[in-house]
Chains A and B, each alone.
Chain A
Amino acid sequence: MSDNKLKIGIYELTGCAGDALLIIDCEEELINIFKAADIESFLMAKSDNNEVKLDLALIEGSVTSEKDKELLLDVRQRSQVVVAIGICACFGGMQAKYLDPKEWQENLKKIYGDLEMINNIPLQSKSIDAYVKVDYYLPGCPIGKEQFLSAFTRMLAGNPPELFRFPVCMECKWKENDCLLNKNRLCLGPLTAAGCGAVCINHNLPCLGCWGPAEEANRASEFQLLLEKGFDQEHIKQKMANFSGSKIFEFFARLKGEKR
């Protein structure tokens, strides 16, 4: 424990734990991560966890219960920098599909009836920035190893992470794949943030949109392109909402304001 090492915490809210697991999957690099920083808290990897003031907190998962919210608020107030990792923390994830609180309540009731939880209260799933200020977003479902390691190293040096701002199509072209849209398959590549290396299209499968919307893409024109290909507007939205949850609708709302 030397004083100049950053104190880091990695936390999991509700989700599949895939982003924490991906960090563990960094294997060889993981050893270097543990050497380069003081990992104060990482439940999946260690049991001697210290809940102290942190320089950097990585949070995965969406807020889906009061306990999630308590943990998130606590981590935020003792962390210099908070990074949302993974689609659930960034956008709410697949569990944030319900827009209307009533609809969510009804569905909750269908599964759990009138059962009252003695130690936890369910909340409609939301991305973490619904409750706290988020400094950086690292999307992905799960996050990508290369992007994580590059972003993490930059953050260790006190710099902001640099992410790809363009859509999956760019990476897909680098791989010299045939465009699936030309084969009339509904590929969400034009609308989805890059970083995965166009992995699905590399396997002849259309992009699912699991990294969420590409902020800097020419969204209006890309969306228009999909409509021109004859894909149904609602179907495209539903497919994007499969992963990006409620936030995707904010994205589409903004889209309307842009020129067609």
Chain B
Amino acid sequence: MKKITIEHLARVEGAGGIIATIDGKAVTDVKLYINEGPRLVERLTLGKTPEEDINLVPRICAICSISHKYAAIRAHEKALQVKVLPKVTLLRELMHLGEMIESHSLHVYLLALPDYVGFPNAMAMAAKFGFEAKIGLEMKQFGNHIMKTVSGRFIHGENPIIGGFGKWPSQEDLIWIKNRAIQFMPFVLKTVKLFSELNYPDCPESETQFACLNPAQNQFGFVGEEIILSSGEKIDVQDYKHLTNEFLVSHSFCKRSQYKGKPYSVGALARINNLGERLPGEAGNMYRKYFNSRWKKNPLFNNAAQALELLYSFERIPEVVDLLKKLPDPEIVLSAKKDGKGTGAVEAPRGALFHYYEISKGLITRTDIITPTAQNAEDIERYCYLAAQKLLESGEEEKIKDRMDLVVRSFDPCLSCSVHMVQIKKASPEDWKLKLSALKKTKELVFIGVGTPSFSDDRIGLELASRLRKSGVKSVWLEPEIEEKKDVFWQENSGRPIIFLDALDFGQSPGKITLRPLKHLFWTSTLSHRIFPLVSSELDSHQLMNSFILGIQPGSIKEGEEISEPVFQAIKTIIEYLR
């Protein structure tokens, strides 16, 4: 077995890595590591005032600092029922567009593009693609300029406050921004063309659920009071937990999210998939020209989606400035309320961001912050798995590392809010034992033997289960028994890790043993037995994470024949180990 390690994911913001473990022709493990230590940000906001909080929480992540500030402000204003004036909302939109431009142009031109044109970084790329590097830098500079003008600094500007702003930008500053945005238009159109026509590899491709905020009045935009999913379902942002369902994993200090037991994606690609029809102007035209079904299933198109959002943002800026110019600078109205609770949500460049606060006597008593990269983590692992598994099957193992790198980077992860790294590891023959013994330490295991009784090696699972039971191992079930006694099964085994015993073709010599996460089989939908969905639909995310398939590489699968000798030896090895 073998491990592919991307030890340090370069050109992403923050620290983390990916390790994929390979056993023959099967990927048995993919883990996105986030090496950031735990900062306990939510807890250190407790006992602080909302004003202090909005100074602190943007420090979660420098690249999304405006989004964090905006989300926190929205939450506090909701909690304390602060009336927000139209000019305030517009100026906040402008600073948010600035962040979108800064973050997207940095990502597509300077972090992602070098991969597609074969350079290790933007500086090296600039020698051959000087125009692209320059445009990228200038756009980013413009985004920074907007952020500095409105928020006070490139990073962690403090000018946006609850209720409004410390200081209003001058008319001259606003007009300069408007004119500059207009001047950029030809280059922004080129950007959309470049990133929509890039030759994105078709691996991995698999549909996912997309989630983003649903802006009011059927508009495109980056804030909303409602979440919309690609299925059309809508969730009030106050009920964001219905979407995010956070859980912990033991390889990262960043919590994970799943919706309805499945990974989902947030970010530019989610917004374009869910709201693209609403894009106005040139962005709308470009959407109709380039959007196709591959955007629904290939995460690499996030680069194209970000380019499209750059266009939307550049087109929107002159409109926002024109509206702002007409409005006088208002006095800030503060709320007398000292108690309340509320959720504020905004689309950060890399996806939906939620801040929730409870405030009592003017001090924060509870904080919950859900970042986009935390929500994407499961889908990042899933797409890396799909890519690695497919390349392995097609004999292109040497491509796995670079492809996983491409996939992770396409999500534009802001790794300090959650994740630097890709490793490929060959699993050792003893891996299954190590993992099983680690699992056994947490909870008692349940074994389910699956298979077809009349087919030689395909009855491995059933045979192994019967023998385990005979040798005195507890909690062993056979596939047919579960269908008969479903209620009893769940009464006895709720919350316990489930180990399916089965014949598993992973391209090794007959009799080799491996352990594959159950969730991987859902991701590829190679579910060979009815029992898998039947049982798995009842599992919570924690249980699903701890459930595996203990597989033996079969020899022949022919009707009537006996179990082959190497497989028989494997059964004996497993029984000896588990007894």
Q: Which residues of A contact B (CB under 8 A)?
A: 12-22, 24-25, 27-28, 31, 34, 43-49, 62-65, 67-68, 93-95, 97-98, 104, 107-108, 110-113, 115-120, 122-123, 125, 141-142, 145, 196, 199-200, 202-205, 208, 210, 239, 242
Is the CB–CB distance between B152 and A199 below 8 Å? yes
Q: Which of A48, A67, A108 contacts B121 (CB 8 A)?
A: A48
Q: Which of B9, B161, B415 contacts A205 (CB 8 A)?
A: B161
The 0/1 profile, CB within 8 Å of A marked 1, for residues 231-242 of chain B is 000000000000
Q: Which of B38, B58, B166, B250 contacts A64 (CB 8 A)?
A: B38
A123 to B122, CA, bound (A): 35
Q: A16-B60, A95-B44 are in contact. Are A111 and B38 (CB under 8 A)?
A: yes
Is the CB–CB distance between B106 and A208 below 8 Å? no
Q: Tell whether B42 is near chain A: CB-to-CB under 8 Å.
A: yes
Is the CB–CB distance between A47 and B10 below 8 Å? yes
A226 to chain B, nearest CB (A): 17
What residue in chain A is nearest B59 (Cβ atoms)? A16
The 0/1 profile, CB within 8 Å of A marked 1, for residues 151-172 of chain B is 0111111110100011100000
Is the CB–CB distance between B62 and A67 below 8 Å? no
What residue in chain B is nearest A67 (Cβ atoms)? B35
Q: Which 9 A-B pairs have the closest CB atoms?
A: A64-B37, A18-B62, A65-B37, A46-B121, A47-B10, A48-B120, A203-B166, A95-B39, A205-B166
Q: Which of A27, A48, A107 contacts B140 (CB 8 A)?
A: A27
B94 to chain A, nearest CB (A): 16
Q: Which of B529-568 contact A (CB under 8 A)?
A: none
Q: A21-B62, A25-B144, A125-B37 are in contact. Are A47 and B248 (CB under 8 A)?
A: no
Is the CB–CB distance between B59 and A141 below 8 Å? yes
Is the CB–CB distance between B38 and A108 below 8 Å? yes
Q: A15-B416, A239-B52 are in contact. Are A97 and B120 (CB under 8 A)?
A: no
Is the CB–CB distance between A44 and B12 below 8 Å? yes
What residue in chain A is nearest B121 (Cβ atoms)? A46
A25 to B13, CA, bound (A): 13
Is the CB–CB distance between B52 and A242 below 8 Å? yes
Which residues in A have their C-beta under 8 angstroms from that of B469? none
The 0/1 profile, CB within 8 Å of A marked 1, for residues 80-113 of chain B is 0000000000000000000000000010001000
Is the CB–CB distance between B121 and A141 below 8 Å? no
Q: A12-B15, A47-B120, A118-B250 are in contact. Are A123 and B37 (CB under 8 A)?
A: yes
Interface centre among B121, B157, B248 (most CB of A within 10 A): B121
A111 to B154, CA, bound (A): 32
- Supply 22 A–B pairs (Cβ within 8 Å), ascending by A: A12-B14, A13-B15, A13-B37, A14-B416, A15-B59, A16-B65, A18-B155, A25-B140, A25-B144, A43-B8, A43-B11, A44-B10, A48-B120, A49-B8, A107-B43, A118-B250, A142-B154, A199-B158, A202-B152, A203-B152, A210-B156, A242-B55
Q: A34-B123, A43-B420 are in contact. Are A145 and B43 (CB under 8 A)?
A: no
The number of A-B residue pairs with CB atoms under 8 Å apart is: 187
Is the CB–CB distance between B35 and A110 below 8 Å? no
Is the CB–CB distance between B121 and A45 below 8 Å? yes
What residue in chain A is nearest B405 (Cβ atoms)? A47
What residue in chain A is nearest B8 (Cβ atoms)? A43
Interface centre among B40, B106, B250 (most CB of A within 10 A): B40
What residue in chain A is nearest B37 (Cβ atoms)? A64
Is the CB–CB distance between B38 and A122 below 8 Å? yes
A28 to B134, CA, bound (A): 10
Q: Which of A16, A24, A107, A242 contacts B106 (CB 8 A)?
A: A24
Q: Which of B107-135 contact A (CB under 8 A)?
A: 110, 114, 120-124, 126
Q: Tell whether B508 is near chain A: CB-to-CB under 8 Å.
A: no
What residue in chain B is nearest A33 (Cβ atoms)? B123
A231 to B429, CA, bound (A): 66
Given A20-B13, A45-B121, A94-B39, 19 more pairs with CB closer than 8 A: A12-B15, A12-B420, A13-B15, A15-B59, A16-B65, A17-B14, A17-B62, A27-B140, A31-B123, A46-B121, A65-B253, A67-B35, A111-B43, A112-B38, A115-B248, A125-B39, A141-B156, A200-B166, A203-B166
A183 to chain B, nearest CB (A): 13
Is the CB–CB distance between B52 and A200 below 8 Å? no
Is the CB–CB distance between A46 and B120 below 8 Å? yes
A44 to B63, CA, bound (A): 12
Which residues in B have their C-beta under 8 angstroms from that of A49? 8, 10
Is the CB–CB distance between B253 and A122 below 8 Å? yes
A22 to B426, CA, bound (A): 39
A31 to B63, CA, bound (A): 20
Which residues in B have their C-beta under 8 angstroms from that of A28? 137
A127 to chain B, nearest CB (A): 13
Q: Tell whether B387 is near chain A: CB-to-CB under 8 Å.
A: no
Which residues in A have their C-beta under 8 angstroms from that of B37? 13-14, 62-65, 67-68, 120, 122-123, 125
Q: Tell whether B251 is near chain A: CB-to-CB under 8 Å.
A: yes
Which residues in A have their C-beta under 8 angstroms from that of B357? none
Which residues in A have their C-beta under 8 angstroms from that of B415? 17
A212 to chain B, nearest CB (A): 14
Which residues in B have their C-beta under 8 angstroms from that of A113? 248
Which residues in B have their C-beta under 8 angstroms from that of A94? 39, 41, 44, 56, 59
Which residues in A have their C-beta under 8 angstroms from that of B43? 107, 110-111
A141 to B37, CA, bound (A): 19
Is the CB–CB distance between A111 and B42 below 8 Å? yes
Which residues in B have their C-beta under 8 angstroms from that of A21? 13, 62-63, 155
Interface centre among B33, B44, B144 (most CB of A within 10 A): B44
A97 to B156, CA, bound (A): 19
A22 to B120, CA, bound (A): 21
A12 to B161, CA, bound (A): 29
Which residues in B have their C-beta under 8 angstroms from that of A199? 152-153, 157-158
What residue in chain A is nearest B157 (Cβ atoms)? A199
What residue in chain B is nearest A245 (Cβ atoms)? B44
Is the CB–CB distance between B38 and A16 below 8 Å? no
Q: Tell whether B141 is near chain A: CB-to-CB under 8 Å.
A: yes
Q: Tell whether B462 is near chain A: CB-to-CB under 8 Å.
A: no
Q: Which of B26-54 contact A (CB under 8 A)?
A: 33, 35-44, 48, 52
A62 to B154, CA, bound (A): 22
Q: Tell whether B61 is near chain A: CB-to-CB under 8 Å.
A: yes
B505 to chain A, nearest CB (A): 29
B537 to chain A, nearest CB (A): 26
A126 to B477, CA, bound (A): 51
A47 to B9, CA, bound (A): 8
A34 to B63, CA, bound (A): 22
Is the CB–CB distance between B251 and A17 below 8 Å? no
Is the CB–CB distance between A97 and B44 below 8 Å? yes
B324 to chain A, nearest CB (A): 17
A194 to chain B, nearest CB (A): 15
B36 to chain A, nearest CB (A): 5
What residue in chain B is nearest A107 (Cβ atoms)? B43
Is the CB–CB distance between A22 and B155 below 8 Å? yes
Which residues in B have their C-beta under 8 angstroms from that of A93? 59
B56 to chain A, nearest CB (A): 6
Which residues in B have their C-beta under 8 angstroms from that of A27? 137, 140-141, 144
B103 to chain A, nearest CB (A): 10
A174 to B324, CA, bound (A): 31
Q: A12-B14, A97-B44, A119-B33 are in contact. Are A202 and B154 (CB under 8 A)?
A: no
Which residues in B have their C-beta under 8 angstroms from that of A20? 13
Q: A21-B63, A112-B253, A125-B37 are in contact. Are A47 and B155 (CB under 8 A)?
A: no
B286 to chain A, nearest CB (A): 27
Which residues in A have their C-beta under 8 angstroms from that of B36? 14, 64-65
